[in-house]
């Protein structure tokens, strides 16, 4: 239960503002609102930790041609990023809409504020998400409005008319998984208030590309695309695919056929040459005739230039250099470049950046300038693709699964779409946060399921693409293949083991050397993958997908993009052994079968047989055995692969003999992805869906959306750390997110009805944060994952608004070590959830107010400075403290707060006590010096005021001599207190040398607090020196200040404007 919190040099206070108290029953659910968090716990804060190193899939760009430093990036599942400085920094401007999947982005040519987004990516992968229509912003992405076409599911292109911005065209590709819906070419002439479908082929065919004649906005070319996926495979073409032309702004269309392959076709990409719009290029997918085609007569006829057309189902873009039609770009796994009009291509156009290119923009005014988007993010070239700069600050990591280890701080590993399996720390000592270079790769390819040995942090397992499993030693980076293979089979025989693209793997909760792997059957290893034994029969329907039809064509007859990306069908995709009883194993398959064994695989039961309401072949997204009872389990089904967007979540308490739906009040469209049961309270369930996170306090009877600060994004998996209690999310959009200490969720029901309730606080660990100076010199083009907020969490719920709220922290002896009140508790007195942080330090200094007209100080007094101690006191000693919440003058509740020392610091308790007492003595001495400085500063201000008041009648003779002499005394004492420029600054800083006693105290305190160790002999010597100097300094300051009243009387005759200043006792 060790809580790791990286502590910094200041008290960091975060809070949750007003939230309405809930009834004693389950909290009122949030239905479909996503624009802002307004649930009972939505002031909790998750933190994004990355990784951004691999970024994620980019689908489209919109670039302001008049100023290409401003552009938008449409991500497959991560919303829309915007930069206004050429990619030095990005801001995601599409955080809270109803979808995060982006297919197209468009910007009005001369209005940077008018932006359109078509949602639902059009790259047709088995992992592709879906959208919710077309959105419009009139303020540069600050706000959005859904403008309709919500049944289009996937939008491939949005085009704004360059003459009349109220005219917009939308290429609706349509649902990847089902027929019908809104598909075809849509046009609005009133800015999106109404839409007209102007091009439609059939219910299986949408529009995948749209380009406009750059010299005539009435001439348009569109490519239609017939395709369909199902969970078992794909049919990537048909007679509906083709190229179309309109010369009347889309009112009528004619199909272009001369020179174009006859018969069924797949995906088609188009581009028009800017200098001569009669020249068009197309990449056409057709059986035996795929390749690059050219037209020189505005599409009337075409001729094939080459066979180049890499995997067009996934890569559909073709681009013509805006200044020469000899140079053609064809993105694919590599960037293919032709300099002879498409006759020949080389595949080296994007060396040293990520592969799988989906978006390409070429600057029409400077074709040396390119922006490319791929599965690894955004890169920029300024030399016609010879060299590239990759942008490491676009967070788009599409995680499938996440795992954790038991280090302190714990590390996580996540498998990422087309981006390897990465591991990184959940927290770092560097105050700036978690950098990209804190992450490291432990396996390649498409990353899926990682496993981390809880007893040996060096051992990590990972799986990539159809069961390619490895075991890696994180210390040496040696990697061994541990994929189970059957004995040699007869040629042509079907494979004995069928693995899913995302193969299910799990370590036994009872023995980390035991691994379960799901193929079409379950395989078990008891020796960390060295050998395997089947422990089940085939647990799928074992359906021959070649006999299954897609768009009316059975699998064996599909000719275009057949089953692209789906290696086999009838696989186990989720698997877990119950932590409540060894040998109870649950599995779920991609063809809808849930099975369970109660005897370690000797016998199996098809638990699906007793279910109702779930269509056949519905993909089993997750199966979750309860930790509380061996017969209890939860199952989430994902029907979108069959065009079914309902939410299916079921529960059993009797090993699947009976089932009940627990979808409850979950709205339609919240397709279920991943489940988790709370480790402390089995009544609490968490559900990740395609758009976010839900929580139930009553095992699924009722659900509440937990929005908090989470953007809209798919959440594929939810884990909870057994020691730290953190919730860890694998988001298929923005990497890994963590909720530190979900105690308010766990105890929310318990808090119902109480006037004031303080939630349990997880143990907090003291760590001195490190300031890595070089990280601050790397510029602004970087990604920083968030460290945990420093300190111990004090979360509480108020039934109603309170006038005054404070916390008192006491040690084991009952002595008060800290009071958190006043400004520190501002706005933390509202009804609902509130959160404050105690930084595990004693009471800070009362800061020295700045002198009138003086600059802020540096180290010793007020600021952190260069070695200065700042206002913070030392960390308290490890132990258990009592935190008491006081509401309106009455103690409401007291909880224990456990504080732990840094586990990496070896120091005896007695030595730690010496360190603490030394630092605390210096802290108190610094407060005394600060009080003296404040007294002198106030008196010095009177001297300044006295001079101003006598400006018209300046002192002469004896009075002037007295004033000048006293001013010199003030200058001397100010130097010793670090006041003013001669002393090192208004706050008492590093300057002033050894004469600056207050500055030396601050520096000594800082140097002692910076290392949890016995003070050095040099430090002890210097401490003796400053302690010896303090009495004389106090006497000197008091004596100097005491002379002011007499001088005032001498110069003015009255002292009404100069209140008496009390001396400081020694």
- pLDDT bin (cut points 50, 70, 90) of residue 480 is very high
Give the mean pLDDT of 853-873: 53
Q: What percent of the chain has pLDDT above 90?
A: 86
DSSP letters for 565-606: T---SS-EEEEEE-SSSTT-EEEEETTS-EEEESSTTSS-EE
- Determine the pLDDT at residue 1058: 82
Is residue 24 scored above 60 in pLDDT? no
- Determine the pLDDT at residue 953: 79
Q: What is the mean pLDDT of the chain?
A: 93
Rounded to the nearest 5 degrees, what angle is found at the Cα of 103, between the Cα atoms of 98 and 108? 95
Is residue 417 scored above 60 in pLDDT? yes
- Give the number of other CB atoms < 10 A from CB of residue 579: 18
Task: Considering only residues 864 and 711, tell me which one the structure prediction assigns the higher pLDDT.
Answer: 711
Question: Do residues 130 and 640 lie in contact, with contact meaning Cβ atoms separated by under 8 Å?
Answer: yes
- Determine the pLDDT at residue 772: 75
Question: What is the Cα–Cα distance from 1061 to 1066, expressed in whole angstroms?
Answer: 16
- Determine the pLDDT at residue 774: 76
Structure confidence by residue, pLDDT tens digits, 908-950:
999 999 999 999 999 999 999 999 999 999 999 999 998 888 8
Q: Which residue from 378, 392, 464 is spatially nearest to 50, judged by alpha carbons? A: 392
- Determine the pLDDT at residue 1059: 86
Is residue 843 scored above 50 in pLDDT? yes
Question: Do residues 269 and 336 lie in contact, with contact meaning Cβ atoms separated by under 8 Å?
Answer: no
CA distances from 57 to 60, 77, 394 (A): 10, 8, 10
Query: Which residues neighbour 958 within 8 Å (Cβ) at sequence distance 6 or greater?
Result: 1050
Structure confidence by residue, pLDDT tens digits, 299-354:
999 999 999 999 999 999 999 999 999 999 999 999 999 999 999 999 999 999 99
- pLDDT bin (cut points 50, 70, 90) of residue 852 is low
Give the mean pLDDT of 372-394: 98
- Determine the pLDDT at residue 983: 54
Give the mean pLDDT of 15-42: 40
Is residue 146 scored above 60 in pLDDT? yes
Structure confidence by residue, pLDDT tens digits, 422-438:
999 999 999 999 999 99
Give the mean pLDDT of 867-874: 79
Question: What is the Cα–Cα distance from 50 to 349, expressed in whole angstroms?
Answer: 29
- pLDDT bin (cut points 50, 70, 90) of residue 868 is low
Question: What is the Cα–Cα distance from 49 to 856, expressed in whole angstroms?
Answer: 34
Instruction: Indicate the range of 495-499, 640-644, 1050-1054 predicted with least confidence.
Output: 1050-1054
- Determine the pLDDT at residue 673: 98
Instruction: Indicate the range of 33-42, 285-294, 663-672 predicted with least confidence.
Output: 33-42
- Alpha helices (H) in 610-734, listed in sequence order: none
b (16+ CB within 10 A) / e for 968-997: eebeebbbbbbbbeebbbbbbbbbbeebbb
- Determine the pLDDT at residue 993: 67
Q: Which residue from 484, 485, 446 is spatially nearest to 464, judged by alpha carbons? A: 446
Q: What percent of the chain has pLDDT above 70?
A: 93
* Sign of the dihedral defined by the CA atoms of residues 918, 920, 922, 925, in that order: negative
Beta strands in 690-827 (DSSP E): 693-696, 704-705, 715-720, 727-731, 735-739, 756-758, 764-765, 784-785, 792-798, 805-810, 816-820
Structure confidence by residue, pLDDT tens digits, 779-803:
999 999 999 999 999 999 999 999 9
Is residue 636 scored above 50 in pLDDT? yes
CA distances from 616 to 634, 642, 706 (A): 18, 10, 31
Sheet containing 479-481: order of strands: 450-452, 459-464, 468-473, 479-481
- pLDDT bin (cut points 50, 70, 90) of residue 877 is very high
- Determine the pLDDT at residue 959: 86
Structure confidence by residue, pLDDT tens digits, 801-820:
999 999 999 999 999 999 99
Is residue 519 scored above 80 in pLDDT? yes
Structure confidence by residue, pLDDT tens digits, 121-144:
999 999 999 999 999 999 999 999
Question: What is the Cα–Cα distance from 683 to 114, expressed in whole angstroms?
Answer: 48
Longest dimension (CA), the chain: 118
pTM: 0.93
- pLDDT bin (cut points 50, 70, 90) of residue 37 is low
Is residue 863 scored above 80 in pLDDT? no
């Amino acid at each position: 239960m060790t809580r790791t919190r990286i502590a910094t040099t200041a008290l960091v206070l975060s809070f949750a503002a007003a939230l309405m108290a809930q009834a004693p029953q389950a909290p009122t659910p949030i239905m479909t609102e996503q624009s802002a968090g307004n649930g009972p716990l939505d002031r909790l804060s998750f933190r994004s930790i990355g990784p951004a190193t691999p970024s994620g899939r980019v689908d489209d760009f919109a670039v302001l041609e008049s100023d290409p430093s401003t552009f938008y990036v449409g991500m497959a599942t991560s919303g829309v990023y915007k930069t206004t400085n050429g990619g030095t920094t990005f801001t995601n401007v599409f955080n809270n809409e109803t979808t995060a999947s982006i297919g197209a982005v468009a910007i009005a040519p001369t209005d940077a504020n008018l932006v359109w987004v078509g949602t639902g990516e059009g790259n047709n992968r088995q992992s592709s998400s879906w959208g919710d229509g077309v959105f419009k912003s009139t303020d540069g992405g600050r706000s959005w409005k859904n403008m309709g076409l919500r049944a289009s599911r996937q939008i491939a292109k949005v085009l704004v008319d360059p003459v009349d911005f109220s005219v917009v065209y939308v290429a609706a590709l349509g649902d990847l998984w089902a027929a019908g819906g809104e598909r075809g070419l849509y046009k609005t002439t009133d800015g999106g208030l109404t839409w007209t479908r102007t091009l439609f082929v059939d219910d299986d065919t949408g529009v995948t590309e749209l380009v406009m004649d750059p010299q005539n906005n009435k001439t348009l070319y569109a490519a239609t695309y017939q395709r369909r996926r199902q969970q078992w495979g794909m049919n990537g073409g048909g007679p509906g695919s083709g190229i179309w032309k309109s010369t009347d702004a889309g009112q009528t269309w004619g199909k272009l056929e001369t020179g174009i392959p006859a018969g069924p076709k797949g995906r088609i990409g188009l581009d028009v040459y800017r200098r001569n719009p009669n020249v068009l290029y197309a990449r056409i997918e057709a059986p035996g005739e795929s390749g690059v085609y050219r037209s020189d007569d505005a599409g009337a006829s075409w001729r094939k230039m080459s066979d180049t057309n890499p995997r067009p189902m996934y890569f559909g873009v073709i681009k013509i250099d805006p200044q020469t039609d000899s140079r053609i770009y064809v993105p694919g796994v590599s960037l293919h470049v032709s300099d002879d009009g498409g006759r020949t291509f080389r595949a080296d156009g994007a060396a040293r950046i990520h592969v799988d290119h989906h978006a390409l923009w070429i600057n029409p005014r400077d074709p040396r300038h390119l922006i490319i988007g791929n599965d690894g993010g955004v890169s920029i070239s300024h030399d016609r693709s010879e060299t590239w700069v990759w942008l490491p600050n676009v967070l788009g990591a599409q995680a499938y699964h996440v795992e954790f280890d038991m280090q302190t701080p714990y590390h996580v590993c996540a498998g990422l779409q087309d981006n390897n399996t990465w591991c990184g720390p959940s927290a770092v000592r560097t105050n700036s946060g978690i950098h990209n270079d804190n992450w490291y790769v432990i396996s390649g390819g498409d990353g899926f399921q990682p496993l981390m040995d809880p007893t040996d942090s060096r051992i990590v397992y990972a799986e990539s693409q159809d069961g390619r499993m490895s075991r890696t030693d994180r210390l040496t980076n040696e990697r061994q293949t541990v994929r189970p293979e059957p004995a040699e089979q007869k040629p042509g025989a079907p494979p004995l083991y069928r693995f899913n693209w995302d193969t299910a793997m799990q370590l036994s909760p009872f023995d980390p050397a035991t691994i379960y792997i799901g193929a079409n059957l379950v395989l078990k290893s008891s020796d960390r993958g060295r050998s395997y034994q089947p422990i089940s029969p085939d647990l799928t329907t074992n359906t021959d997908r070649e006999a299954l039809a897609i768009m009316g064509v059975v699998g064996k007859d599909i000719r275009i993009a057949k089953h692209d990306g789906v290696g086999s069908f009838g696989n186990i995709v989720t698997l877990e052994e119950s932590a409540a009883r060894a040998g109870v194993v649950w599995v779920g398959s991609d063809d809808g079968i849930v099975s369970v064994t109660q005897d370690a695989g000797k016998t199996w039961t098809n638990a699906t047989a007793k279910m109702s309401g779930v269509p056949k072949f519905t993909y089993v997204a997750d199966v979750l055995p309860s930790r509380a009872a061996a017969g209890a389990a939860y199952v989430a089904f994902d029907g979108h692969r069959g065009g079914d967007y309902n939410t299916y979540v079921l529960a059993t308490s009797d090993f699947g003999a009976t089932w009940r739906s627990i979808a409850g009040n979950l709205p339609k469209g919240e397709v279920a992805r991943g489940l988790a049961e709370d480790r402390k309270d089995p009544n609490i369930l968490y559900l990740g869906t395609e758009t976010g996170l839900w929580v139930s306090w009553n095992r699924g009877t009722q659900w509440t959306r937990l929005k908090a600060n989470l953007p809209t994004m798919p959440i594929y998996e939810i884990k909870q750390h057994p020691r730290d209690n953190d919730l860890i999310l694998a988001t298929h959009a923005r990497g890994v997110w963590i909720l530190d200490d979900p105690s308010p969720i766990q105890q929310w029901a318990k808090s119902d009805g109480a006037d004031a309730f303080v939630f349990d606080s997880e143990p907090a660990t003291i760590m001195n944060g490190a300031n890595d100076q070089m990280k601050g010199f790397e510029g602004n083009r970087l990604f920083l994952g968030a460290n945990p907020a420093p300190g111990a969490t004090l979360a509480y719920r108020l039934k109603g608004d309170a006038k005054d709220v404070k916390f008192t922290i006491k040690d084991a002896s009952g002595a008060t070590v800290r009071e958190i009140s006043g400004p520190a508790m501002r706005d933390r007195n509202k009804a609902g959830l509130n959160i404050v942080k105690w930084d595990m330090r004693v009471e800070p200094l009362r800061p020295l107010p700045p002198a009138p007209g003086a600059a802020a100080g540096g180290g010793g007094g007020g600021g952190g400075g260069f070695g200065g101690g700042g206002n913070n006191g030392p960390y308290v000693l490890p132990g258990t403290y009592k935190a008491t919440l006081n509401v309106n003058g009455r103690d409401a509740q007291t909880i224990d707060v456990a504080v732990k020392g840094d586990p990496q610091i070896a120091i005896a308790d007695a030595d730690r006590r010496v360190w603490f007492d030394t630092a605390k003595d210096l802290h108190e001495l610094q407060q005394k010096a600060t009080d003296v400085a404040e007294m002198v500063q106030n008196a010095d201000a009177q001297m300044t005021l006295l001079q101003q008041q006598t400006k018209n009648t300046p002192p002469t003779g004896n009075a002037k001599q007295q004033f000048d002499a006293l001013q010199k005394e003030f200058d001397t004492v100010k130097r010793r207190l670090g006041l003013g420029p001669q002393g090192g600054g208004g706050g008492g800083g590093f300057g002033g040398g050894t004469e600056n006693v207050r500055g030396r105290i601050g520096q000594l305190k800082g140097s002692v607090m910076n290392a949890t160790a016995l003070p050095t002999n040099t430090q002890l010597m210097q401490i003796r020196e400053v302690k010896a100097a303090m009495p004389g300094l106090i006497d000197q300051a008091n004596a100097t200040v005491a002379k002011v009243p007499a001088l005032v009387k001498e110069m003015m005759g009255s002292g009404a404007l100069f209140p008496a200043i009390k001396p400081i006792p020694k």
